[in-house]
Amino acid sequence: MTIFKGVGTALITPFQNDKVDFASLEKLVDTQLKSNVAALIVNGTTGEPTTMTHKERTAVAVAVIKQVHKKIPVILGAGSNNTYTAVEYAIEAEELGADGILAVTPYYNKCTQQGIIAHYKAIADATNIPVVMYNVPSRTGVNIAPETALALAGYKKIAAVKEASGNISQFLEIARLLEGKMDLYSGDDSLVYTLLTLGSKGVISVASNIIPQYMVDMVNKYFEGDIKGSRDMQFKIEPLIKALFSEVNPIPVKCAARLMGMIPDDYMRLPLTKCSKEETLATELRALGFL
């Protein structure tokens, strides 16, 4: 079951005066819809859910789901290092009308591969909407091994893996083992083109917050057979992608969104702080004609 094909934007959460800025959120979602992104991912890492209250997370989810109104899939972040909490988030996501959930591997606990399998099975058992497993060992301290992904392929509603290990060899092995059994998405904006060549269904992107049409065009070129055109577009934005990840996500992308006039404030709750690489970001945005 393919949830989406193309660009899914890992949506930022705008704040003003330490409160969620729902007016700016609505404008961001409108821009995404007009750019024909294939899906929106809400309350994922880029949306800063770990520093939001449960009430705020729910309010953001409700607002986006209502605005999107089933035009494209809305996937809600439902990850936790406490399996019971992740299950509660998954149940709530389904109740709110989400089209799927994105569940990161349990962080900090550093569970075994058997623990990862049990964790995702518990989430899948609790909900009837598709589950995207999120592998980002640089943040969580644990890696979904290709054999573990294979063990979960086809289990109930576990539909896909968002692979953000940065390890192309691992993605190649996952693609080899899971071909036809589970979908794969790039979780790295620098590797979108590369992972499309290995069979990914698209990308869950940070960059598409600020350049959604560009990212959509790049991926669509590949799917339409313009392989060189897609590759050239990936090459062209590589300096900007590096700038967007020069500090921990979502610090630079929120700064870029402010520079581009998409949000009035790039405020982030502690322990995240404002970007110290603003000039670098501005330089790259100007070079590409986005600023």
Alpha helices in the chain (DSSP H): 22-34, 54-68, 83-96, 113-126, 137-140, 146-152, 168-178, 192-197, 212-223, 227-244, 251-259, 278-287
DSSP annotation of 107 reads: P
CA proximity to 204, closest of 221, 184, 218, 224: 184
List active site positions: 134, 162
How many CB atoms sit inside 10 A of residue 30's CB?
A: 11
Name beta bridge partners: 163.
135, 186
Structure tokens at 18: 């330490």
The type of residue at 172 is L
Kindly state the DSSP code that residue 145 receives in the 8-state scheme: -
Q: In DSSP terms, which residues pair with 100 in a beta bridge? A: 75
Closest by Cα among 39, 24, 28 to 71: 39
Closest CA to 94 of 63, 131, 57, 68: 131
